[in-house]
Amino acid sequence: MKKARGFTLIEVMIVVTIIGILAAIAWPNYQNHLRKGRRAEAQSFLMDVANRQTQYLLDARTYALGASAITDLKMAVPTTVASFYTVTVTPAAPTVPPSFTVTATPIAGSQQAPDGALTIDNTGQKTRAGTPGW
């Protein structure tokens, strides 16, 4: 008589269960890692805007402000940032002394929503969801 070869149904179910448990643990960690990476990209873009604002101030004696500020600085919001954040530069009009705040607000319902708004101002003060520091 020949001996049967292969896996039993119980063995296959145990393997499937183990894979399911590992996936249930790994998936949230993976999503958290992606969220942190997108936040880092937004923070980098905000730093670039702040640096350009400093250069712009030297040339124009005022900061680029309002809805056209990003284009006035000859920049564009990267698609990797624009997909998850709305970037604005405030105030809308020049102030005395000159000032600005660049804000990256997470798009409602996106995976970045728990992060809260990221900001940087003309003094270099950075906040995340109102808390100092990034």
CA dihedral 25, 30, 33, 38 (to 10 degrees): -140
Cis peptide, bond prior to residue 98, ω within 30 of zero: no
- List the strands of the sheet with 85-90, edge to edge: 85-90, 101-106, 118-121, 126-128, 131-132
pLDDT at 90: 94
Read off the pTM: 0.83
| 9-132 is classed CATH 3.30.540.20 | yes
> Could you count the other beta carbons within 10 Å of the beta carbon of residue 89?
22
CB-based contact 134:118 (threshold 8 Å): yes
What pLDDT does residue 92 have?
A: 85
Q: How far is CA 68 from the centre of its chain?
A: 21
Torsion of CA 133, 54, 92, 111, to 10 degrees: -40
What pLDDT, in 10s, does the model give residues 11-47? 999 999 999 999 999 999 999 999 999 999 999 999 9
Give me the pLDDT at residue 6, please. Answer: 83
Give the Cα separation of 55 and 53 in Å (integer): 5
| Cα–Cα distance measured from residue 83 to residue 103, given in angstroms and rounded to the nearest whole number | 15
pLDDT of residue 109: 92
Establish how many alpha carbons lie within 13 A of residue 129's alpha carbon, considering only the half-sphere containing its beta carbon: 7
Mean pLDDT by 10 residues, the chain (134 residues): 82 96 95 95 97 95 93 95 96 90 95 94 94 90
Domain-wise residue ranges, the chain:
9-132
